Chains A and B, each alone.
Chain A
Amino acid sequence: MSSVSENALHLPGDSPLHRLAPQIKLVAAFGTVLCVVATPRTAFWAFGGFALLLGVLAGTARIPPGWLARRLLIELPFVALALVLPFALGGERAEVAGLALSVPGLLAGWNILAKGTLGLFTSLTLAATTSPRELLLGMQRLRTPSTLIMISSLMLRYVGVAVGEAGRMRLARISRGDDPRFLWQANATARSVGTLFLRCYERGERVHLAMVARGWSGELPEPGRGRPGARDWLLGLSPALVTAAIAGVALWTR
């Protein structure tokens, strides 16, 4: 699983956010983002409150600000959309720095920018404080069917192998002079995708046989760990509750 941990965004640590039971974190993260999305876009103060809350959480979890800022750049294409909208849309115009911009466009752009960034901020905080293994445990405790958990855990265990294999094939292609620039030059790439499928599938067959040989009966044991009580749930869900309160006030005073 080492390769996945390298690629995934998990930052090992021992903050209260790291220690919180994963199922609580999952519920809290989904609840928070849903409340952010439900907030009317003209309630600007509410978005300031959300950003402050998430900032406090990231600080508690000791997530480096530079790390967060770099990962927030995934948003860039949506930022581009947000910047185009004030020019592209019609309706009422407003003068901003000498340019006549569309008011609905400005609001729509702001809406995507603010909610997208806050949503990504939440996802990053969740991903940084939850390891892949904990995430699966959380999904399992939230009653995800065991077949899905099993597929997911095997996927996470072998995704590093598959990605590494794909990387080696790419290296082999490039070192033999492959430099595709047009779609009709993609033949070698596609052949490696086909080979990758064969290798993954055959590895699956071997893994299954190895599991059977070691007495696999079709169920994964759940790692024993204390279940969280009502207090943990209340504490863990408090950011989501604060978000819900802000969103409620924003909707009320609209």
Chain B
Amino acid sequence: MHTTPLALHMTDGLLNAPTALLFGAIALAGIGFSLGRARATLDDRTAPMAGLVAAFVFAAQMINFPVLPGVSGHLLGGALVAILVGPWVGTLCVSIVLVVQSLLFADGGLTMLGANITNMALIGTAAGYLVAVALRPLARRGRTGLLITAFLAGTINTVMASTGFLLEYWIGGTAGFSVAQAVLPMLGIHLLIGVGEGIITALTVGAVAAGRPDLILLLRESRQGERTRTREDENRRSQQRGTVEGTS
């Protein structure tokens, strides 16, 4: 039972054609902007890394976690990738996962692709990242602070993504019920799923922090000010990689 994709991977016919086109254009603009920023901030390692991060998002979305008995959710991953690899690469990865799910797995309607990308890749990732950046001083204090930051970013990521749906539905929804009727159930369900997303995001970031803290971009940015990697940084990373592989 996949609760989250049912709620967020919208099917064709929920929104009218002009709204679908509008959000298709918004999604294209958002991806283009993220692409420009991702190119500016990362070197030629972008593509292989980002490809593997996208593969991770895809695989992670297939892992179900229990919310209540009989109800399970799965990760959207927007806040998680924003914390780990930054908002721009994160947005690209989640967008690509959504495009592949729609075109190769028929998951989510073709005309709803723009709206789905806007909700999960643009709004969700941006909301999660903004929360994480706002709480960065807390995250730098220690493990507990980092976990709280990741939890809040994950929760707000999901709730804001569902708010995106409400906005789209308000502009061009065709299901017959009014937005006012949809607000409470939508936000209620997604707050619940969002708590799940937040907990998984926090525990995942915690696990990465325990193994390779240097991979958490949110903390790296704060430490170095810039995210370009120095040669020393590179050496330190390969040394750490050696120890990780040695111990595992």
Contacts and interface: CB of A to CB of B under 8 A. Distances in A.
A and B from one assembly? yes
Interface of A: 4, 7-10, 26, 29-30, 33-34, 36-38, 41, 71, 74-75, 77-78, 81, 85, 88-89, 104-105, 107-109, 111-116, 118-120, 122-124, 126-127, 130, 132, 135, 145, 147-148, 150-159, 161-163, 165-166, 170, 180-187, 189-198, 200-205, 207-208, 211, 218
B226 interface: no
B75 A193 contact: yes
A154 B46 contact: no
Contacts, number: 272
Given A152-B96, A183-B199, A108 B176 contact: yes
Q: Say whether chain A's binding surface is mostly helix, strand, loop, or mixed.
A: helix
B215 interface: yes
22 contacts: A9-B106, A38-B16, A81-B175, A119-B12, A120-B11, A135-B103, A135-B104, A148-B31, A150-B47, A151-B51, A151-B92, A152-B51, A155-B51, A157-B51, A158-B55, A162-B52, A163-B58, A186-B66, A193-B75, A193-B200, A198-B211, A201-B49
Contacts of A157: 51
B65 A151 contact: no
Given A183-B199, A191-B207, A211-B48, A123 B110 contact: yes
A135 B176 CA distance: 36
B63 A132 contact: no
B191 interface: no
A147 B68 CA distance: 40
B20 to A, nearest CB: 6
Contacts of A159: 54-55, 58-59
Contacts of B56: 162, 196-197, 200-201
B13 A37 contact: yes
Given A29-B110, A30-B110, A207-B52, 8 more contacts: A34-B20, A107-B176, A122-B110, A130-B104, A162-B52, A191-B203, A197-B56, A208-B48
B12 A182 contact: no
Given A166-B60, A207-B52, A190 B12 contact: no
A189 B65 contact: yes
8 A-B pairs with least C-beta separation = A194-B207, A154-B51, A115-B13, A119-B12, A108-B176, A190-B203, A204-B52, A162-B59
A135 B67 CA distance: 35
Q: Say whether chain B's binding surface is mostly helix, strand, loop, or mixed.
A: helix
B134 interface: no
B104 A147 contact: no
Interface residues of B, number: 77
Contacts of B105: 7-9, 127
B204 to A, nearest CB: 4
Contacts of A194: 203-208, 210-211
Nearest to A102: B176
B241 interface: yes
Contacts of A191: 203-204, 207
B35 A116 contact: no
Contact of A193 (B49, B107, B110, B204): B204
Interface string B101-133: 011111101110000000000000000000000
B146 interface: no
A124 B106 contact: yes
Nearest to A5: B104
A112 B106 contact: no
B13 A190 contact: no
Contacts of A75: 11
A214 B223 CA distance: 34
B63 A198 contact: no
A205 B11 contact: no
B59 A165 contact: yes
Given A122-B110, A158-B55, A162-B59, A36 B200 contact: no
